[in-house]
Structure 1
Amino acid sequence: MITSYAQNFEDVILWRALKSVKHGFYIDIGAQDPVEDSVS
């Protein structure tokens, strides 16, 4: 069972979609507030 720390399970959705990717990075674009309503 996976524990989600995101508001709308975005972390689980991304993990399922990208779990076969061995190496990579992400760029956080459009972050408005670092605490309120942030999912990154």
Structure 2
Amino acid sequence: KRLEAFYRKVEEANIPAFLKAIQTLKNWQVEILNSLSFGYFIK
């Protein structure tokens, strides 16, 4: 999965701000991906 590969690259880079960002993405991954799949965009 490309998203998981992105997570690994960020973890390998070990940049604190990016590590925090991917943790947030992981916490909300289902909701974020659903919003992109089903068009739940904030207007």
- Please confirm whether the aligned pair reaches a TM-score higher than 0.5, indicating the same fold: no
When the two structures are superposed, what TM-score results if normalisation uses the length of structure 2?
A: 0.29
- Higher helix residue share: 2
**TM score, norm. by length of structure 1:** 0.30
